[in-house]
Chains A and B, each alone.
Chain A
């Protein structure tokens, strides 16, 4: 209501200009709704991907990059390391 009042009483814009603008915004918003509905439908079909904040400390997240095969490869050297440097273990 106030929007209409304001635009109607706005001196620099003519009534036609206002009408044109209004119809333009109307079609734009309609288009936007259609796109949103389409996108929503597409997302619903594809299945929602929810991203949750991690509840574990970031330190543990870093460890996930370490692969088990690497650990198995290093296991023997690590044992020899204890024998070679007992004072730090």
Chain B
């Protein structure tokens, strides 16, 4: 009996958790799930999106910010490698396409790297992207 109660309770909690997750996923933007340190550094313009699909450090950032960028870039690399093989594409092709979309989706005030290599602040208009970007 005790076991049964525990089981049903656990099932309920899992269900409730899933429901909560689904609710937040729908209600809040995707960016809400960013690590707070990453979100802050991004908003401060210390981290920017590069056309190659990876993050870059803008200017002389702290070692903490650099470590954060390296950590996320390693995760991105692993993700791109996996998704690229599923799509029969090279990691570079996949990463570059991801970079196109990530730069397109930067919020006003965030940093991104233009095709020429210079860091730009995203304005209200369209960002400067590679002509091959969709």
Contact = CB atoms under 8 A, between A and B. Distances in A.
Interface of A: 57, 59-60, 62-63, 65-68, 70-75, 77-79, 81-83, 85-89
A89 to B, nearest CB: 6
B121 to A, nearest CB: 19
Contact of B132 (A66, A88, A89): A66
Given A63-B130, A81-B83, A87-B34, A74 B97 contact: yes
Nearest to A57: B117
**Could you tell me the dominant secondary structure of chain A's interface residues?**
helix
B75 to A, nearest CB: 5
B30 A71 contact: no
Interface string B91-124: 0111011101110010000000001010000000
B6 interface: no
A60 B132 CA distance: 13
A68 B132 contact: yes
Contacts of B87: 73-74, 77
B97 A75 contact: yes
B30 A83 contact: yes
A59 B93 contact: no
